[in-house]
């Protein structure tokens, strides 16, 4: 990285370009003489002093303003400008093309229907209890432009003096009255039609959980009486409409349940064999496809129980979550209506259409990394579903990748070969518990076994073996848990070259991280994810994990620091990842992210194992720096080539990101971003007494520069950039170009940098990746 040098010509060029754009995109000269360009509307509301919580009412009225004015970017209206240019006799190819892509029809003041907007506002205010409100539109026009200001006078609202259920002898009224115990309509509150609509839906939802299969919220009606009062108070009554069908006023019970575990559209129920009965449920399958005793616990509906829409929904979700079925269809059919004690019966047919039992998927990838490595990769995955006829899935994945260093420098030609084999057995139950103990979703038990190897030419070969036993489950729509009480990882470093051995000898910190090769412990991950709700404009994402290793082995082995002749690692590690999304308009979003992770070696360990350390830099981190090239602290490995021999790491990581995402055209999206982060050391590096002077000096320098301290903000790697993303149905190819704003390993006072302008090509980092960074 070259030291920063001021460049004075660029700001002048930028100013000239901006002024040229502002002049060229002026649209005033194209506006017809008898028209004024509509620039938008705003509202000014005068509320009665007794009115509270007015913010959302103002927002509702703001949403009624129409039409939308022509869009602006930095004070310009390029869409309108290119529309006007395209109307000329000879517009030229470029103007026609730009008009087709971003052109906008002009919106004039004459296009605004003030009377309609006024009527919509008054209607909305009536619905919210503000009867007899007044709206006074006011036009502000000058120089071929016009805006509208709606002055709104809102009086004291009508409030509820009494709220009653107007009932008769029908049994359903008792259930409605029970549902009203949780009503949000309170005496003294403002009259609110939207709240009444919500209340009808809520009561309908409650009734459908009490057997009223044929009920509909439209059968309920609210009536208001204001004649008894002269001080803006009203009585509210709730009742059933007249002529509601009798079948909608009685609860239904589940009379029979039939399950078809291997259903297809061509299945003819008349040709099905004699069913197998278990707990009153009939299973129809010519040849046993799914064991009934394994499938029955996922069915929450019970014979003789009243119909419950929530139970039916959860049953459908649980059967879908097995991972063995592409379609789950619960058909409910009414018996011939015979009223006995004001009840009726339902047949429940559960149709399950299986996925293909065995599948083989191949993926060929071309990978380019920001550390200069590139090459092909191949992945093969074999799936066997419903392996033991109880919903089990066996997944075996083999992968192979070859990468070589393409960038210039002395290390050009370095290559790496990586491969692995992994087998996962997933059981759709939480051993040893019954699935019925988990109402929301199906918990799963996962058993994994795998091996990996990595060979870096001129350096080393790294082999590993790992196995785990754990559980995953969704507590609700947003919360996900993963617990692995058994997690074992064995790492072996071998075939090291003299060159790499010299590096290890000179860097005891790195050597110690490779020494302890046996890692055994437990880990837990908690995720709260509101992104599953597409209607949420401000979702959050929170993920945190805890990883603890070596404690049980230490308890069993006592003073013995080895197991099977190998020294085991002992540490505690935790991290937290928080993201906030602010969405607006069409696919626009501002995403912020904060990440913090800390690992503490203790007992048997003086450093975290290499595979458990934290790294910073790269396409999913601080994108202005090469992958794993930041830190610890202000330390930087001195290399003449394009890649360091080892990844720079630490046991503490702090990072923050801010990204603005916007659409460009069709599947092409854009982004502007800023990243900041680094890793540090918090533990002293143990140095043996017989350590060579050169090695001792290196480690003292490493800890001095990498130690976390009060000046950590001055040691952040900070970068900015922009990117393009090809987003096709959630498959994302990402191209990001980033440049540093603060370079932590430069001398203090010289760390500030002008992004993209200083330092030439080595001041720009290109990142290619799959998926969004966060």
Pairwise pLDDT comparison (265 vs 201), residue with the higher score: 201
Q: Which two tokens stand for residue 770?
A: 């799959």
* Section 712-719 average pLDDT: 94
Which pLDDT does position 439 carry in this prediction? Answer: 72
Class of the 159-248 domain? alpha beta
SS3 340: strand
What number does CATH give the domain 252-354?
3.10.20.310
Which pLDDT does position 75 carry in this prediction? Answer: 73
Which pLDDT does position 20 carry in this prediction? Answer: 42
Which pLDDT does position 336 carry in this prediction? Answer: 64
Name which of 354, 290, 301, 353 is nearest 332 in CA terms: 301
pLDDT higher than 90, residue 201: yes
As a dihedral over the C-alpha atoms of residue 677, residue 683, residue 688, residue 692, rounded to 10 degrees, the angle is 20
The shares of helix, strand and coil residues in the chain, as percent rounded to the nearest 5, are 20, 40, 40
pLDDT in tens, 336-393: 654 545 678 999 999 999 999 999 988 876 655 444 566 787 889 999 999 999 999 9
Which pLDDT does position 558 carry in this prediction? Answer: 67
Where is average pLDDT lowest: 5-19, 204-218, 609-623?
A: 5-19
Q: Do 636 and 650 meet the contact criterion of CB atoms below 8 Å apart?
A: no
Which pLDDT does position 647 carry in this prediction? Answer: 63
Distances from the Cα of 250 to the Cα of 177, 210, 338, 723, angstroms: 15, 10, 11, 60
* Section 753-761 average pLDDT: 76
Which pLDDT does position 652 carry in this prediction? Answer: 95
Q: Which two tokens stand for residue 2?
A: 């070259």
Ranges assigned E (strand) in 410-539: 415-427, 444-456, 460-474, 479-494, 518-529
Give the CA diameter of the chain. 99
SS3 406: coil
Q: Which two tokens stand for residue 721?
A: 């950039």
pTM for this structure? 0.75
DSSP state, 685? P
At how many degrees (to 10) do helices 193-208 and 114-127 cross?
A: 60
- Residue positions counted in the chain: 774
Q: Do domains 9-153 and 552-774 have the same CATH topology?
A: no
Which pLDDT does position 148 carry in this prediction? Answer: 93
pLDDT in tens, 674-698: 999 999 999 877 666 666 777 777 7
Separation between Cα atoms, residue 645 and residue 310, nearest integer Å: 58
**Burial class of residue 157 (count of CB atoms within 10 Å of its CB; 0-12, 13-18, 19+):** buried
Q: Do 747 and 4 meet the contact criterion of CB atoms below 8 Å apart?
A: no
pLDDT higher than 50, residue 9: no
pLDDT higher than 60, residue 91: yes
Which pLDDT does position 410 carry in this prediction? Answer: 47
DSSP state, 752? B
Delimit the domains of the chain by residue range.
Answer: 9-153, 159-248, 252-354, 552-774
Helix (H) or strand (E) holding 675: strand 668-680
Separation between Cα atoms, residue 580 and residue 530, nearest integer Å: 10
pLDDT in tens, 266-307: 655 545 678 999 999 999 998 899 999 999 999 999 999 999
DSSP state, 430? -
pLDDT in tens, 45-79: 888 777 777 777 888 898 899 998 988 876 778 88
* Section 722-747 average pLDDT: 89
What number does CATH give the domain 552-774?
2.40.160.50
Which pLDDT does position 231 carry in this prediction? Answer: 80
Phi, psi of 402 (to 5 degrees): -125, 130
Q: Do 361 and 380 meet the contact criterion of CB atoms below 8 Å apart?
A: yes
Instruction: Give the DSSP per-residue string, 51-106.
Output: ----HHHHHHHHTT--SPPPP-BTTB-HHHHHHHHHTSSS--HHHHHHHHHH----
pLDDT in tens, 437-495: 677 778 899 999 999 988 888 788 888 899 999 999 888 889 999 999 999 998 888 88
Strand-pair category, 252-260 with 134-142: unpaired
Fold of 9-153: Ubiquitin-like (UB roll) (3.10.20)
pLDDT higher than 80, residue 773: yes
Q: Compute the radius of gyration of the chain from its Cα atoms.
A: 34
CA geometry: angle 363, 369, 374, nearest 5 deg: 65
pLDDT higher than 70, residue 655: yes
Pairwise pLDDT comparison (367 vs 576), residue with the higher score: 576
pLDDT in tens, 303-339: 999 999 999 999 998 899 888 999 999 999 987 654 5
Name which of 252, 239, 248, 240 is nearest 341 in CA terms: 252
Which pLDDT does position 79 carry in this prediction? Answer: 83
Where is average pLDDT lowest: 198-212, 501-515, 721-735?
A: 501-515
Helix (H) or strand (E) holding 327: strand 325-334
Residue 277's DSSP bridge partners are 282
Which pLDDT does position 6 carry in this prediction? Answer: 40
Distances from the Cα of 773 to the Cα of 187, 613, 623, 675, 735, angstroms: 50, 20, 10, 11, 11
Output b/e per residue, 170-189; b: 16+ Cβ within 10 A.
eebbebbeebbeeeebeeee
Which residues, in sequence order, are CB contacts of 528 under 8 Å at separation 6+? 478, 479, 480, 540, 541, 542, 543
Distances from the Cα of 402 to the Cα of 364, 396, 496, angstroms: 12, 21, 19
Average pLDDT over all residues of the chain: 85
3-state secondary structure 515-552: HCCEEEEEEEEEEEEHHHCCCCCCCEEEEEEEEEECHH
């Amino acid at each position: 990285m070259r030291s920063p040098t001021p460049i004075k010509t660029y700001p002048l060029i930028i100013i000239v370009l901006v002024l040229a754009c502002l002049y060229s995109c002026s649209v005033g000269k194209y506006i017809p003489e008898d028209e004024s360009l509509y620039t938008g509307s705003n509202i000014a509301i005068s509320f009665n002093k007794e009115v509270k919580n007015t913010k959302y009412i103002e927002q509702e009225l703001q949403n009624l303003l129409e039409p939308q004015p022509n869009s602006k970017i930095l004070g310009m209206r390029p869409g309108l400008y290119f529309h006007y240019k395209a109307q000329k006799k000879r517009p030229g190819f470029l103007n026609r093309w730009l008009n087709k892509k971003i052109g906008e029809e002009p919106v004039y003041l004459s296009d605004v229907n003030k009377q309609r907007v006024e009527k919509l506002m008054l209607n909305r205010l009536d619905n919210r209890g503000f009867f007899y409100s007044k709206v006074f539109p006011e036009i502000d026009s000058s120089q071929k432009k016009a805006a509208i200001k709606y002055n709104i006078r809102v009086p004291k609202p009508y409030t509820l003096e009494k709220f009653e259920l107007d009932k008769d002898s029908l049994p359903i009224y008792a259930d409605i009255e029970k549902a009203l115990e949780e009503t949000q309509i309170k005496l003294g509150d403002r009259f609110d039609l939207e709240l009444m609509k919500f209340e009808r839906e809520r009561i309908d939802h409650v009734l459908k959980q009490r057997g009223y299969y044929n009920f509909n919220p439209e059968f309920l009606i609210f009536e208001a009486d204001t004649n008894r009062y002269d001080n803006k108070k009203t009585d509210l009554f709730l009742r059933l409409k007249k002529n509601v069908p009798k079948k909608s006023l009685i609860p239904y019970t589940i009379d029979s349940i039939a399950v078809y575990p291997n259903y297809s559209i061509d299945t003819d129920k008349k040709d099905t064999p004699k069913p197998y009965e278990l707990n009153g449920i009939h299973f129809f399958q010519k040849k046993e496809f799914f064991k009934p005793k394994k499938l029955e616990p996922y069915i929450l509906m019970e014979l003789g129980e009243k119909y419950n829409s929530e139970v039916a929904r959860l049953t459908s979700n649980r059967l879908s979550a097995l991972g063995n079925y592409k379609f789950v269809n619960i058909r409910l059919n009414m018996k011939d209506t015979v009223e006995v004690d004001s009840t009726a019966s339902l047949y429940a047919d559960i149709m399950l259409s299986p996925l293909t039992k065995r599948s083989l998927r191949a993926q060929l990838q071309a990978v380019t990394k920001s550390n200069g490595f590139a090459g092909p990769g191949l992945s093969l995955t074999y799936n066997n579903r419903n392996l033991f006829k109880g919903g089990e899935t066996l997944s075996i994945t083999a992968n192979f990748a070859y990468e070589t260093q393409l960038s210039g420098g002395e290390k050009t030609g370095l290559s790496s070969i990586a491969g692995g084999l992994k087998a996962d057995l997933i059981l759709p139950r939480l051993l040893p518990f019954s699935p019925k103990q988990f109402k929301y979703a199906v918990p799963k038990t996962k058993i994994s076994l795998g091996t990996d190897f990595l060979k870096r030419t001129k350096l080393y070969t790294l082999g590993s073996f790992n196995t785990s036993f754990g559980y995953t489950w969704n507590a609700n729509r947003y919360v996900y848990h993963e617990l692995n009480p058994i997690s074992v990882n064995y790492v072996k470093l071998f075939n090291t070259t003299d060159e790499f051995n010299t590096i290890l000898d000179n860097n005891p910190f790195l050597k110690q991280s490779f020494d302890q090769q046996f890692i055994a412990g437990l880990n837990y991950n908690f995720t709260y994810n509101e992104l599953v709700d597409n209607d949420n404009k401000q979702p959050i994402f929170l993920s945190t994990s805890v990883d603890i290793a070596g404690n049980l082995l230490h308890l069993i082995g006592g003073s013995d620091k080895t197991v099977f002749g190998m020294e085991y690692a002992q540490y505690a590690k935790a991290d937290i990842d928080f993201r906030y999304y602010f969405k607006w308009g069409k696919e626009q979003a501002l995403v912020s992210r904060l990440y913090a992770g800390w690992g503490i070696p203790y007992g048997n360990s003086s450093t975290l194992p290499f595979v458990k350390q934290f790294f910073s830099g790269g396409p999913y981190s601080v994108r202005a720096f090469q992958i794993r090239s930041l830190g610890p602290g202000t330390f930087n490995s001195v290399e003449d080539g394009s890649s360091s021999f080892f990844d720079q790491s630490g046991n503490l990581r702090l990072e923050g990101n801010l990204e603005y995402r916007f659409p460009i055209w069709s599947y092409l999206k854009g982004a502007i971003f800023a990243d900041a982060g680094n890793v540090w050391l918090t533990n002293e590096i143990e140095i043996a007494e017989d350590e060579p002077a050169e090695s001792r000096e290196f480690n003292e320098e490493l800890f001095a520069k990498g130690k976390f301290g009060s000046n950590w903000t001055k040691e952040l790697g900070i970068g900015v950039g922009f990117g393009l993303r090809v987003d096709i149905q959630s498959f994302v190819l990402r191209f990001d170009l980033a440049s540093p704003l603060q370079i932590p390993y430069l001398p203090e006072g010289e760390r500030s940098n002008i992004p993209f302008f200083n330092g030439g090509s080595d001041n720009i980092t290109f990142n290619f990746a799959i998926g969004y960074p966060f």
